[in-house]
Structure 1
Amino acid sequence: MNQVVAGEDQVSEIMENEEISDAMSESNEIVSASNCFHHFVANGFSKLDQSSLESCIIQTSVSQNLHMAKKTRVVAIHKNMNTSRSWQIRAHSFRVSIKAVADKCGGDANVGYAWYGASGDEISEIVTHGFSWRIKSAAVTHNISLSPAKHLLDSVLSSTVDENGLRHLLLCRVILGKQEVVTGDSSHQFHPSSPEFDSGVDDISAPTKYMVWNCRLNFSILPCYIVSFEAPYLSESKIIKPISSWITFPTLISILSRFLDQSRMASLKKQYTDFKEKRITRPQMIQRVKQIAGNQGLSAILKMYTDKDLQVSSSSSRRRAVMRVV
């Protein structure tokens, strides 16, 4: 059977890393629990050697895009090497879909890598049965969200800690085709708004979220790698109270600039300008900050910083705009 996943050159190209670092040299020790990855291995996912090109590319991408290299420890990366009949069918369906979407879209199926974060149990179900098993439990949501290769924070926050203290992410190939903007109030949408579209995004020019409809899960997403990592700075609670209760808007904007893309930073700065010019109120500014950064992501980011990182001098803090994050 042809390999299910793309080769190293394709991984390097799509992940868009210009340099390969040896960041894994001190961060890829096997956890003590010998059966930690048993289910992955049983389903045809083979552990990559820490010195392989693919491992270095993926590890570098995680470290660079999270900006948390010292606080995130990649423990293992498993690659999909499954040669079973069911995986042959999945891989064949994926290739056929690429051709069909490419023909429809003028030759380019717009295939890319994307991250999916979930509990270890859910990822085990996916590697066993594929994403289609979700449809049975999808009473509320009609699509699944994945993070583009360069914006994996949302997927990290969607992952949960297993009994070994590890979180797991799937790195998948996704057929995106022609995309349409899907807003937060589109929960009633069960499928693309017209045959013209193949997937959804939150922003056409600078997407931070891909949406694949349940009706297309069987042939639009192919799991390629499982990345297992430790992230002790993340709390299991959905709302994480920062160490410092108060923070100035300029300080917050400076911190968020390390994590948000240019589009969201431009929007954030515009909101702050509107606030300074009294076009919006402080409560409105706080709400818009949370909408732009994401409440859970905002809380997790602030959790990483100490009081010293967040505080400005007491002589100036009372004269500057502040917000309380709860």
Structure 2
Amino acid sequence: MEINVNKCQLSPLPVGRNGRFKHRCRDFASDYPRRQSKNEHMEHIDIGDSVSETTNERDISVSDSESVISGSITPKFESFAGRGLIRLEEGDKEHDIIKNRFMLGLGPLGRHTSIIAVHKNSFSGFHRQARLQSFKIFSESMSQKCNGNANIKYAWYGTSRDGVHRIISHGFGHCGNPENSKLNGCGLHLSPENSSIDSVVASVLDGSGLRHVFLCRVILGNMEEILPGSMQFHPSSEDFDSGIDSLSAPSRYIIWNTHMNSHILPEYVISFRAPLCLKGFQRIQERVVKPTSAWMPFPTLISVLSRFLTPTSIAYIEKYHNDYRTKKITRPHLIQKVRQIAGDKLLVSVIKSCRNKQFKVVKGSRCLNGILF
């Protein structure tokens, strides 16, 4: 998602499949209804998350200099002025796109929420520029590791007023458990861009009755499912880069503590007024609808794949399947391995031809139904 604002000279950051940064523009707001419709299909996904989404489809470019955006800072937000944040005025296209995106993710709470201000990270100063350049370097590195797809997404992070100052000035940090770290592993937890409500609930009311939420760009790479109650604080293997609470219906991204300042780029701060009690508005996880079509047994899948893959590749798939059956690895881990070895394109073709299954394209990733592990 990229904001094309005539008033702003924005420096692009999207990473393409060749590992280089691309220069493209797309109006994020007009792209939202299409992506929202695709998100609804995620309830039916049996294999994986939309991890093959490319960043050039949805990029908000960041400015490297505070001077490229003009905007007055009202006294009410003077505490944010001169600290690496620039206020975007209401009516400005960039302001309105971010505001609308935030409100769309609130659900019923949106009727009771008013946006007070939207600020943009100017990335001014030596240390802020260093964090910006670090994010670019890690984006390109992740793209090379993941065959051209760094899996960069946008996510919300609720914090306190002091947290805004601290993160903009010094980056993300933690004392004991990081902010927003609850159930799924020990790391920094962010909510997907279509669910700002979850980060709103995690935000902290300040003395003025306001709450504050960051919109961040996040490098996810290959994600692994982290079960509730897990105390995991690092990737389970070199194959994974981040965590997610559910591959089929994600509501939380987990960035490990060692990556919090290289894989998260805070770009915008939304300050808003909401009801004091938010518990009644918290998003209820939708029920995942199980596929109703016939299953394709895993041995059958292996048999068919053997016609297209090398004996070595088939041996690896059989090994991972055996590891799963003996509970040495999790089902998401097995799924990830099969997808890496066989590729989604081949898997889709195999299932379509053998069982006449339908498949869905979710955010650019072909996700399959009907494999029995």
TM-score (norm 1): 0.63
- Cα distance in 2, alignment partners of residues 165 and 222 from structure 1: 26
Equivalent position of 1:165 in the other structure? 209
Equivalent position of 1:193 in the other structure? 236
2:263 to 217, 220, 224: 220
2:177 to 114, 117, 138: 138
Query: Cα offset for 1:266?
Result: 3.7
1:110 matched to 2:151: yes
For this pair of structures, how many residues does the alignment match?
231
8 Å contact 1:3–1:81 — kept in the other structure?
A: no
2:160 to 116, 119, 122: 119
1:70–1:117 Cα change, 3 Å: same
Aligned-residue CA RMSD (Å) = 3.2
8 Å contact 1:36–1:164 — kept in the other structure?
A: no
Query: Cα offset for 1:47?
Result: 0.6
Equivalent position of 1:182 in the other structure? 226
Q: Which secondary structure state, in structure 1, belongs to the residue aligned with residue 221 of structure 2?
A: coil
Query: Cα offset for 1:9?
Result: 4.1
1:265 matched to 2:304: no
Which structure's relative contact order is higher, taking Cα pairs within 8 Å and 6+ residues apart? 2
1:17–1:56 Cα change, 3 Å: farther
8 Å contact 1:5–1:80 — kept in the other structure?
A: no
* 1:251-303 Cα deviation digits (max 9, x unpaired): xxxx99xx556xx23469xxxxxxxxxxxxxxxxxxxxxxxxxxxxxxxxxxx
Q: Which one-letter code corresponds to 1:198 in the other structure?
A: D
1:78–1:9 Cα change, 3 Å: farther
8 Å contact 1:146–1:155 — kept in the other structure?
A: yes
Query: Cα offset for 1:209?
Result: 0.4
Equivalent position of 1:322 in the other structure? none
Deviates more, 1:67-76 or 1:165-174: 67-76
8 Å contact 2:171–2:261 — kept in the other structure?
A: yes
Query: Cα offset for 1:107?
Result: 0.3
1:211 matched to 2:254: yes
Q: Which one-letter code corresponds to 1:41 in the other structure?
A: A
1:101–1:5 Cα change, 3 Å: closer
Equivalent position of 1:86 in the other structure? 127
1:54–1:48 Cα change, 3 Å: same
Q: Which secondary structure state, in structure 1, belongs to the residue aligned with residue 137 of structure 2?
A: helix
Q: Which secondary structure state, in structure 2, belongs to the residue aligned with residue 40 of structure 1?
A: coil
TM-score (norm 2): 0.56
Q: Which one-letter code corresponds to 2:94 in the other structure?
A: E
Deviates more, 1:138-147 or 1:199-208: 138-147
Equivalent position of 2:118 in the other structure? 77
Identity over aligned pairs, percent: 35
1:12 to 12, 21, 28: 28
Query: Cα offset for 1:61?
Result: 1.6
Structure 2: gaps spanning 5 or more residues? 1-8, 15-22, 36-72, 291-373
Q: Which secondary structure state, in structure 2, belongs to the residue aligned with residue 41 of structure 1?
A: coil
Between Structure 1 and Structure 2, the one with more helix by share is 1
Q: Which secondary structure state, in structure 2, belongs to the residue aligned with residue 109 of structure 1?
A: coil
Query: Cα offset for 1:51?
Result: 1.1
1:14–1:120 Cα change, 3 Å: farther
* 1:12-43 Cα deviation digits (max 9, x unpaired): 17973569xxxxxxxxxxxxx96543343222
Q: Which one-letter code corresponds to 1:104 in the other structure?
A: K
Q: Which one-letter code corresponds to 1:103 in the other structure?
A: Q
Q: Which one-letter code corresponds to 1:164 in the other structure?
A: S
1:94–1:208 Cα change, 3 Å: same
1:227–1:8 Cα change, 3 Å: farther
8 Å contact 2:84–2:169 — kept in the other structure?
A: no
1:176–1:154 Cα change, 3 Å: same
1:221–1:62 Cα change, 3 Å: same
